[in-house]
Amino acid sequence: MLKILLLLERIVTACRRSPIVDTYTVLTLRADVLKLRVHLVDGSFIEVFHNIATGKSAFALIAAESRIYGKDKDNAKMGWHVHPAENPETHKPCDPVSFEESLAEVEALRFRSPQDG
Cα separation, 45 vs 97, in Å, equals: 18
Strand order across the beta sheet in which 21-29 lies = 21-29, 33-40, 45-51, 56-63, 66-74, 79-83, 92-93
Q: Hey, which residues does 21 pair with through a beta bridge?
A: 40
User: Going by C-beta distance under 8 Å and a sequence separation of 6 or more, which residues neighbour residue 6?
Assistant: none
Q: Which amino acid is at 41?
A: V
Cα separation, 33 vs 30, in Å, equals: 5
The pTM of the full predicted model, rounded to 2 decimals, is 0.91
Tens-digit pLDDT profile for residues 44-89:
999 999 999 999 999 999 999 999 999 999 877 789 999 999 999 9
